[in-house]
Structure formats: structure tokens, C-alpha cells
Amino acid sequence: MKNQLQRIKELINYKFDGSFIMEEMEVSDNFKNNNFIEQKNIRSIVLEVGSDPENDIEHRIVLILSFTYRDRYEQLVFAFSLLDKNNQFVKGKEAIYDRNVVNQYLPKELQKSIVLFGKLKEMFKILITMEKPIEFYIETHEDYKNEKLLLPYNKIIDLILQNGYMLESKGLTHDKKKYYWKFVQSTKQQLKESKEFDDWYKNFKKDDEYWQHRKELTMEAVRGFIKIENEQKKNII
């Protein structure tokens, strides 16, 4: 049976369409204390960003930064994942890429804030020491409409360029829907030899199987994060 506090909260947050107004998460202590969970075996770093102690279903949100590889395609991926109080994935929110969806759960003080990018910057510096691919891509999740869409990526691009990479190419994907950047760490001769791969990439299609693979990799990183987190708690006790 629901306790009185839960019932009061539901009455306050209830909307006439039968749903509930989303509660705001708080910035977590793990975020403030830079408790980055590194997983070299799967090339990922996870950080808890926010939590809502009074919400058992949408209890906390974590940020995952990782390198993923599939069919010759190396990509730097940013994703968020939503967990309930029992550290189970919230259905449909296992791997969130859409900024509009993410902002529904991020603590307000982190939305449009340089603080979150600061953490992402630290995560990338750690990741790039764990894994330094010769070349990799970044691609927008949203469909490209205008240059304004690319503005949030500028700081990320600059960060990569400051860490031993050069921008080899950029532009629209083969279907003219997404925008991509290709980064390389190699000699000019190697860059010339990579043209064959670029031609292949332009025809690379991201079907349902591809997105399912991406989702599974994100979930694997989060499961590893939870395991390490639990071990850390045991050591404290």
C-alpha cells in the first residue's frame, strides 16, 4: 500500500490526461565527486549524473561514454540510461541519445550548463588513455536541418582536436540525414590509404540490427557500472 507521502506527491503531480508531471532529479554526489567508473575491457566510462530519492521508477540517470566498433565502423558514442530504484533499466530508456528526452530527466542546473561538459571532458581524457583508435567517427543523433544543430558539438570537436587527433573529413551521411565528423591519428600516407574505408562508410546503413547492437553495448556498460559500484559500497562497509 502506498504511504501518505507518496499519495500526496501523486495528487500534486497528477495531470488530467492520466499521466504525471515529471519530477526534477537532483545532482548526485557521484557526479560532484567525479566518481567515474572505468571499464577498460569494454572501452567505456560511466558516471551517475542525477537521482530522485523519492521516485522508485525513474530513480537515477547515468551518462555513458564509449568507443563502439561494428563492421569496420569505430564510433565515439555518448548515451544516457535511466534506472529504477532496484538498478533495473526503465523500459524504453535503456539507451537515450535524444537531447530533448535527456533534458526531461537531467537536473535543471545541469541543462545548458558547462558543468556537464566539464565532466564529459574529464571522461574523454580518461577514455582516450584507455583506448586510442587510429580513426573514429562522431555522428549526430538528430537529423541535420541547419548549422544550429551542430553548435553543441563544437566543444566536443575542439576537445578531440586538443587530444592528439585531427579532423580528416566532415559532412552529411550517405542518406543526407545525419552530420558526421571523422577524426584520425595517423600519417598522411595512412590517411590516403583510408579513402577506401571512407567510400564504404558513405554507404553504411544503420538498420534496426545496428541500433540493437548499440543498445546492448550501452546496457553492458551500465551493468558493469552497477557491479563495480556495488563492490565499492562493500569496501566502504
Residue 137 burial (10 A CB sphere; 0-12, 13-18, 19+): buried
Query: What is the pTM (predicted TM-score) of this model?
Result: 0.82
The parent domain of residue 81 ranges over: 4-236
User: 168 with 183: CB under 8 angstroms?
Assistant: yes
| pLDDT, tens digit, 9 for 90 and up, residues 158-197 | 999 988 899 988 888 877 788 999 999 854 445 444 555 5
Q: What is the number of structural domains in the chain? A: 1
Of 24, 205, 46, 19, nearest to 120 (Cα)? 46
Residue 199 burial (10 A CB sphere; 0-12, 13-18, 19+): exposed
User: 80 with 49: CB under 8 angstroms?
Assistant: yes
| pLDDT, tens digit, 9 for 90 and up, residues 59-84 | 999 999 999 887 778 899 999 999 99
| pLDDT, tens digit, 9 for 90 and up, residues 194-208 | 555 566 666 667 778
| pLDDT, tens digit, 9 for 90 and up, residues 209-218 | 888 989 999 9
Question: What is the DSSP pairing of strand 73-83 with strand 44-51?
Answer: unpaired
